[in-house]
């Protein structure tokens, strides 16, 4: 006699999460084996709880924990300050000032909160780290990785300054994702080009992190929401081998 639906244990994390897209390596794995096993995955999350509420983060983590070998949640502590630069019109706020230090504290607090959530959910193959600590950790591993972190980002920045197609691709992502924010900041008197550049640098940081985590052979697959496909496609274009990088898009 089959077990009735009313008697079956409810699997909440599965019912709340839907895979709505994938790219490159992840698409191949999901098609061929139905999961991402044999690979480690990662996800960047913002500090703002309204954008990344606890339950959403936990549901994504549960899915990734079950579907891949290990999952890394990276809290965008430093990267969020590009938003501060865009909103204030001051590049100094990336490193200095009371507002920058406040955002640092908020990032640390959010990382601690997410760590507690993960421990409470007993997700043993899930790790939480801040963006800055992730980069520092990779730097310290060996000289090659140190060069990748420091000179690698300089190369990305140089390309943004001098490669028109790359710059326009990044700016195009920003224009599609947050047109209302750009319009609002311009109405408030902010320099439109500076706002666009600061916002594009936020996207470039995530693309750089994806590239770095592939090249250091750590986390080849990125997990995120649907809107991230726009700049994941830019990341994918950096690799000739389609099996090096992949991404999965989840909806809750």
| DSSP per-residue letters across 81-129 | HHHHHHHHT-GGGGTSSHHHHHHHHHHHHHHHHHHHHHHHTT-TTEEEE
> Given this model, what pLDDT does residue 247 score?
98
- Gyration radius of the chain's alpha carbons: 19
Tokens of 184: 């609002």
* Strands 71-75, 18-23: pairing kind: unpaired
Structural fold of domain 16-251: Rossmann fold (3.40.50)
Tokens of 226: 């649907």
> Given this model, what pLDDT does residue 9 score?
37
Count CB-CB contacts under 10 A for residue 125. Answer: 15
> Given this model, what pLDDT does residue 2 score?
36
Averages of pLDDT over runs of 10 residues in the chain (252 residues) are 37 68 96 97 94 95 97 94 91 89 92 96 97 94 90 94 96 94 91 93 95 95 94 94 95 90
pLDDT digits (tens, 9 = 90+) for 214-230: 999 999 999 999 989 99
> Given this model, what pLDDT does residue 246 score?
97
> Given this model, what pLDDT does residue 5 score?
36
Q: Are 35 and 95 in contact (CB under 8 A)?
A: no
Q: Which H or E run includes 233?
A: helix 229-236
Tell me the sheet residues that pair with 71: 41, 126
> Given this model, what pLDDT does residue 158 score?
96
Tokens of 242: 């389609």
Domain ranges (residues) in the chain: 16-251
């Amino acid at each position: 006699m089959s077990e009735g639906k009313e008697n079956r244990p409810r699997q909440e994390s599965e019912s709340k999460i839907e895979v709505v897209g994938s790219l490159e390596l992840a698409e191949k794995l999901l098609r061929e084996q139905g999961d991402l096993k044999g690979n480690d995955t990662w996800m960047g999350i913002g500090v703002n709880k309204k954008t990344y509420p606890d339950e959403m983060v936990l549901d994504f983590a549960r899915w990734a924990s079950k579907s891949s070998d290990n999952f890394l949640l990276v809290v965008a502590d430093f990267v969020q300050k590009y938003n501060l630069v865009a909103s204030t019109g001051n590049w100094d706020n990336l490193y200095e000032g009371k507002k920058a230090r406040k955002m640092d504290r908020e990032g640390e607090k959010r990382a601690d909160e997410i760590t507690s959530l993960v421990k409470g959910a007993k997700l043993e193959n899930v790790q939480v780290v801040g963006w800055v600590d992730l980069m520092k950790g990779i730097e310290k591993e060996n000289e090659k990785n140190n060069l990748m972190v420091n000179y690698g980002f300089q190369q990305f920045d140089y390309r943004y300054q001098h490669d028109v197609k790359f710059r326009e691709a990044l700016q195009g992502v920003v224009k599609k994702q947050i047109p209302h924010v750009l319009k609002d900041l311009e109405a408030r008197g902010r320099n439109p080009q500076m706002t666009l550049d600061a916002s594009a640098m936020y996207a470039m940081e995530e693309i750089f992190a994806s590239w770095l985590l592939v090249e250091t052979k750590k986390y080849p697959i990125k997990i995120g929401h649907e809107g991230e496909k726009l700049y994941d496609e830019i990341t994918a274009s950096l690799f000739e081998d389609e099996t090096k990088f992949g991404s999965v898009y989840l909806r809750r």
